[in-house]
Amino acid sequence: MELTYETTYQAAGKVADTIASILLKHQAAAYENGEQNLAAVPEAWVVEKMIDVAFWASLRKEEGNATKLSLAFLPPSQAGKPLLFAQPLQLNSKTLSKLAPGVERAGVHVGVWYKGTELYIWGTTIKLPDYCFVLDVSEPALLVVKQRRIIGLGKFMNVAVLRGDQVKVVDENSGLLPDSPAILTSLLGLSYSAVWNDPVNVLIQIAVSMRAHGRGGILLVTPSRHDKWKNSIVHPLQYPVIPAFSGVADLVGNNCNKVSVSDIYWQNALRREVENITGLTAVDGATVINDRHQLLTFGAKIMRAHDATPVEQVLFMEPVMDGSPRLLHPSSLGGTRHLSAAQFVHDQRDSLALVASQDGYFTVFSWSKEANTVQAHRIDVLLL
């Protein structure tokens, strides 16, 4: 197929080849593993046009509301029981903005396919084949390129994020570094579980929910085998929880190896309990849970432990191409929240600190034995 479409969103042309090659690499690896029901891989011109059209659609409004929707590249034959339009629709920004109010709900995808060198919209679907190319229009000028993965609670892996003239392509190899936290390797697809209540899957849900409320916050994840974390918290606690609240913990412990990811009832129950806890992270101060997901306190003030030294630097990393690790002072990552979270992990080295910023950035602080320092992984590109 020859490209006959000229894009006007320059970032689309610059990133299309890279994205297409990543999608092709993923599919080739899947074939080698003997996996079936794999989606077609779009050529670079398809990726470029879909991104271009989606970008301009994101800037349009319908009755005062911004365009939000999800595009999926697949033929109707791979969409299970699709909703088919009597006549295919031309893929352009006007059509997408008109359709958006009816298809903006999570899990609904606008189906896109091609004839010759023209792309068209054939209808909608809620079922996608494995490794399907998905393009989310999240907000004005913000697009997220995803690929449906075979297993794992999130079901999608982020491939790239385009925000205006800023393009970030996910680097899967960043999760291969020593001491990478499990939440990072799971989001990168390097390690994941199909069990809905796997502890790492639950932590990912907590991170997504924490980021979603948009108020910023800190969540500290501490060991359940001791309470040394209290040495890094101002006393008396403002909102102690006694006994520890176990809404999430009870669900996580419920037949963990017997309930499949398809069990919608338990997933919804877990989602409600997660939101119950993560809502508290909007309260000023830190929310503390243990590694069993029991809520211990919220609104806690972090302080430097009496026998600890001030944290002077963190190893900052972002899982994107050209995102080389850098040594930075923690305050340069976003202010007081990041500094206090880094200090906590510096003092309590068997703990994690998750920090959501009001501007959407999300950072995971953990201790690196390899580098003998606090490491800060900014993972918001994987949570969108």
Q: What is the pLDDT of residues 283-305, one digit of tens each?
A: 999 999 999 999 999 999 999 99
Residues 203, 328, single domain; the answer is yes
Q: pLDDT at position 334, please?
A: 85
Whether residue 366 is contained in a domain is answered as: yes
Which pLDDT belongs to residue 193? 64
Do both 165 and 203 map to the same domain? no
Q: What is the domain range of residue 160?
A: 10-169
What is the model's pLDDT at position 152? 45
In the chain, the number of structural domains is 2
- Alpha helices, H only, the chain: 10-32, 44-58, 93-103, 182-187, 199-212, 247-252, 264-278, 336-347, 380-383
Are residues 164 and 303 part of one domain?
Answer: no
Task: Kindly give the interhelix angle for 264-278 and 199-212, rounded to the nearest 10 degrees.
Answer: 50
d(CA 332, CA 338): 8
Rounded to an integer, what distance in angstroms lies between the CA atom of residue 133 and that of residue 114?
14
Evaluate whether residue 179 is within a structural domain.
no
Q: Is residue 308 part of a domain?
A: yes
In terms of domains, do 260 and 306 share one? yes
Does 205 share its domain with 158? no
Please report whether residue 183 resides in a domain: no
Q: Are residues 147 and 214 in the same domain?
A: no
Q: Are residues 315 and 273 in the same domain?
A: yes
- Is the domain of 251 the same as that of 113? no
Q: Confirm whether 374 is domain-assigned.
A: yes
Rounded distance between C-alpha atoms, residue 368 and residue 139, angstroms: 35
Which residue among 169, 191, 208 closes a domain? 169
Same domain, 366 and 277: yes
Query: Which residues of the chain carry a pLDDT beneath 70?
Result: 1-5, 150-155, 192-196, 254-263
CATH code of 301's domain: 3.40.1700.10
Domain boundary among 149, 169, 189: 169
Contacts for 153 with CB less than 8 Å, ≥ 6 apart? 192, 193, 194, 196, 198, 201, 204, 205, 261, 267
Would you state the pLDDT for residue 177?
A: 79
**373-378 and 314-317 beta bridge pairing:** parallel
- Domain shared by 113 and 231, yes or no: no
Place of tokens 């990168």: 188
> Is there a contact between 334 and 361 (Cβ–Cβ < 8 Å)?
yes
Indicate whether 5 belongs to any domain. Answer: no
334 in the same domain as 296:
yes
Domain-located, residue 161: yes
Structural contact between residues 354 and 364, judged by C-beta atoms closer than 8 angstroms = yes
Residue 12 CB partners (closer than 8 Å, separation 6+): 47, 48, 49, 51, 52, 55, 162
Is 303 contained in some domain? yes
Based on the fold, state whether residues 114 and 165 are members of the same structural domain.
yes
